[in-house]
Structure 1
């Protein structure tokens, strides 16, 4: 096998990330045709096929997956080291666009943004609320904030804010008319407020206790597509709702909502700030990521 330099692997890594010749070529600054020739040359040197290609799709072979698993971490370390040098060049300036769900915007992103802008007056921030996941790159977003479990694995993710916990709630008058559930399956016999994702799928409520995980497909007269709306509906007595604990803590303390199944709602990982790549990260985004890390450590 002829000698292969690190630069020979850049086309492979770009195509593995994007699984699109056009997007990979845009990342490394060449044409799709040039990228294809570079990849073919690499495969000939290795005497191995790294991708299965059709006119519509690109997928790693088993050999390609092995190569990616071994070299990607090393390249990320190199990129991190080079990006760290950016701290010595340029002040944070320009616009940042964030995509986030409504709950994460209110609970963590807005508090961070408000403090960040005080100390970075030359940065402008646009927040777009969308409860459905979007293609960050094609939609022109610099970063997003989502619940950790739904962040794509190819994203760089930074935990921000405290750990979260679900709260199952309804009004006192609702539980005067209906028995309080003491186990998740009891919800099936009660009127619950459903949450439908943009994909059309209804969310199955998730519970855990003592290592036992339970999912319940609730039913009821009302379905919404926003968790804030679910809280509002629960406050109006429309049924049992679920929310992040921080969303409803004040209503519980004031006696406007009653919490049930608390022992089935453990703490779990919280929200993450995520972005596509550390490669050539704008100074403004680098500053925001660093600020968010410090802010996270200062939160309870």
Structure 2
């Protein structure tokens, strides 16, 4: 049997991760047809079907599952060897894959731009999603999330400032509704509820002088994206609960008004996190050094 290139094997792992040729092709930066042809050629060469395909789904065959289990550790070892060899370069190169939320990516964008300017041979592949994933299983080098959500088996590097939540509404809404003085007063208000990535409705959290309170707010509108919540609050749809970072421009412009500020103490902000393995890719090590450099500036 002719030996195949590592690219074909990486393609198999990408399709196995995503259970989708289209999503895997996007990750690999090739066309769906090229990916399908590559997988089909490999299957023909080894004489077994690796994936069961229908018009709606892609799944590993029994042979494919065993094949993936066998090649994944070997490819991981090869990647580490390549990264270790590349670490002797004066300038890091390659692609760094980072998983984060939309808000996390927006806050980290100045860091990303400074990193790419300093290391022009590096590329950043940033994927945003609300759900918290296993970055190792999904093939990411690192993640960026709020400190309280970072898995305990990961190494976390804090960056940025601590954060606070903010309860805000438009002047138009408050013109017809008296501002709440305590979290309990929210029961008589229209609130813009938050649906989390898990599907659960988020309960607003408050604390003052050691007293904690969780409020399951009510309202006619439930959303799952901060930008939509901001638009709704600006239009007078009700009270919303977002981070200071997300509402700072509106507070400065007067398009939103803050309430219950003494009930929203600061909490730990974002962290870059990565697996606690012995070898760190040169690009990730350079990003960590830049974070620490900025923190000490």
CA shift, 1:236, in A, is: 1.6
1:106 aligns with 2:106: yes
Aligned mates of 2:226, 2:296 — CA distance in 1: 27
CA shift, 1:277, in A, is: 2.4
Partner of 1:155: 154
Asked whether the equivalents of residues 86 and 92 of structure 2 are also in contact (C-alpha less than 8 Å), the reply is no
Asked whether the equivalents of residues 195 and 203 of structure 1 are also in contact (C-alpha less than 8 Å), the reply is yes
CA shift, 1:289, in A, is: 1.0
CA deviation profile, 1:227-270 (whole Å, cap 9, x unmatched): 22212211121111111112212211211101000000111111
Partner of 1:243: 242
Asked whether the equivalents of residues 193 and 222 of structure 2 are also in contact (C-alpha less than 8 Å), the reply is yes
Aligned mates of 1:26, 1:213 — CA distance in 2: 47
Asked whether the equivalents of residues 193 and 202 of structure 2 are also in contact (C-alpha less than 8 Å), the reply is yes
Asked whether the equivalents of residues 144 and 275 of structure 1 are also in contact (C-alpha less than 8 Å), the reply is yes
Deviant stretches of 4+, over 4 Å: 85-88
Partner of 1:135: 134
TM-score if structure 2 supplies the norm length? 0.70
Q: Secondary structure at the match of 1:161?
A: coil
Change (3 A) 1:155 1:86: farther
CA shift, 1:88, in A, is: 7.4
CA deviation profile, 1:60-107 (whole Å, cap 9, x unmatched): xxxxxxxxxxxxxxxxxxxxxxxxx99973331100111111111112
Q: Secondary structure at the match of 1:292?
A: helix
Aligned mates of 1:292, 1:249 — CA distance in 2: 23
CA shift, 1:223, in A, is: 0.7
* Superposed counterparts of 1:25-104, under 5 Å: 26=73, 89-90=88-89, 91-104=91-104
Aligned mates of 1:229, 1:295 — CA distance in 2: 32
Partner of 1:260: 259
1:295 aligns with 2:294: yes
CA shift, 1:279, in A, is: 2.2
**CA RMSD for the aligned pairs?**
2.3
Q: Secondary structure at the match of 2:103?
A: helix
TM-score if structure 1 supplies the norm length? 0.69
Aligned mates of 1:210, 1:263 — CA distance in 2: 9
Q: Unpaired segments of 5 or more residues in structure 1?
A: 1-21, 31-84
Aligned mates of 2:86, 2:292 — CA distance in 1: 16
Aligned mates of 2:150, 2:87 — CA distance in 1: 30
Asked whether the equivalents of residues 87 and 282 of structure 2 are also in contact (C-alpha less than 8 Å), the reply is no
Asked whether the equivalents of residues 170 and 240 of structure 1 are also in contact (C-alpha less than 8 Å), the reply is yes
CA deviation profile, 1:31-65 (whole Å, cap 9, x unmatched): xxxxxxxxxxxxxxxxxxxxxxxxxxxxxxxxxxx
Partner of 1:48: none
Change (3 A) 1:99 1:191: same
Aligned mates of 2:144, 2:85 — CA distance in 1: 24
Aligned mates of 2:232, 2:245 — CA distance in 1: 17
